[in-house]
Amino acid sequence: MKIFKNKLELKDFLSKQKKEGKSIGFVPTMGALHEGHLSLVRKAKEKNDISVVSIFVNPTQFDNEEDLLKYPKTFDNDVKLLESVNCDVLFFPSVEEIYKDNIVSNNFNFDGLEHQMEGKFRDGHFDGVGTIVKALFEIVEPNIAYFGKKDFQQLQIIKKLVKKYKIPVKIKGCVIYREDDGLAMSSRNARLTKEHRKTAPFVYKTLKKAKKKFGIKNANELTEWVKKQFKKQVLLELEYFTIADEKTLETATVIESNKKYRAFIAVFAGEIRLIDNIRLK
């Protein structure tokens, strides 16, 4: 695997590959890699000649300084994992390489997608995401970029970003990888205390139960039911549960048969914020 820290060197290398007619599959990450990330790399390898992964803990998408400082960093292990799936290229830039000395976001209008759910609770988060993903797309110029449905709102926002800015890249949404007990894989899981880790699968269990009840209970009743379940769980604090239209991400009050819905959840397990979602029938 080739490792680049310098964007011009990476650009130069990739443009040579493209001139030879090779296609590029790209997986942006913040490192501390797990099976969920590797599943995206495998997809990128399946459909493209060259797989590129970036590892960059993007400061502008964090609204919580401590979360940024404590974000897990496991570079040596990440390299091993990427080599185990035969990743071709790793881009590992410094903050200066990406932002020079001006660590700020651009402002984006994602037609309201950015004001729902995560947007309500993480100030400026999607401006940060938009800024870094646009910058990375300009450097890598991938044919296809792969994102996990674990961050479903982010996936919809990236699709909007490439449409609005006419960035010639195809965006692929990929399934959520879970631990055996159902907890959605996340780099932040490593920071859970033993007790919180034990309790955390309750999040997905509740989502699955909510899915079963969808259609029997209406959206409002279901939301109240979920809130009640979390009140019984002293170790977990529900931040939001919402049933939303997959396209607009707006909270659904009335369910229409021609629309697709998903349940979205954010929960604090001690200091660690967990998010998850599930497709509803």
Regarding 277 and contact with ligand AMP (CB under 6 A), the answer is no
CB 132 within 8 A of CB 58: yes
Distance CA 244, CA 219 (A): 9
Specify the stretch interacting with ligand AMP by CB under 6 A; choose among 134-142, 147-155, 218-226, 256-264.
147-155
Q: Which of residues 18-77 bind ligand AMP (CB under 6 A)?
A: 29-30, 36-37, 39-40
Give the residue carrying structure tokens 């897990």: 72
Rounded to a whole number of angstroms, the minimum distance from the CB of residue 250 to ligand AMP is 21
Told to check if 128 binds ligand AMP by CB under 6 A, we report no
- Considering beta carbons, is residue 78 or 219 the nearer one to ligand AMP? 78
151 binds ligand AMP (CB under 6 A): yes
* Token pair for 41: 């790399």
From edge to edge, which strands make up the β-sheet containing 261-269?
236-245, 261-269, 272-280
Q: Which residues are catalytic?
A: 37
Q: How far is the CB of 144 from ligand AMP (least distance, A)?
A: 13
Backbone angles phi, psi at 189, to 5 degrees: -60, -30
- Cβ burial, residue 4 (10 Å; 0-12/13-18/19+): buried
Q: Provide, rounded to whole angstroms, the least separation between the CB of residue 37 and ligand AMP.
A: 5
177 lies in the binding site for ligand AMP (CB under 6 A): yes
| Residue closer to ligand AMP (CB basis): 91 or 177 | 177
| 150 contributes a contact to ligand AMP by CB under 6 A | yes
CA distance 141 to 14: 9
CA–CA distances in Å: residue 23 to residues 26, 54, 90, 137, 152: 10, 17, 16, 14, 26
Question: Would you count residue 148 as binding ligand AMP (CB under 6 A)?
Answer: yes
Give me the residues that bind ligand AMP (CB under 6 A), please.
29-30, 36-37, 39-40, 147-148, 150-151, 174, 176-177, 184-187
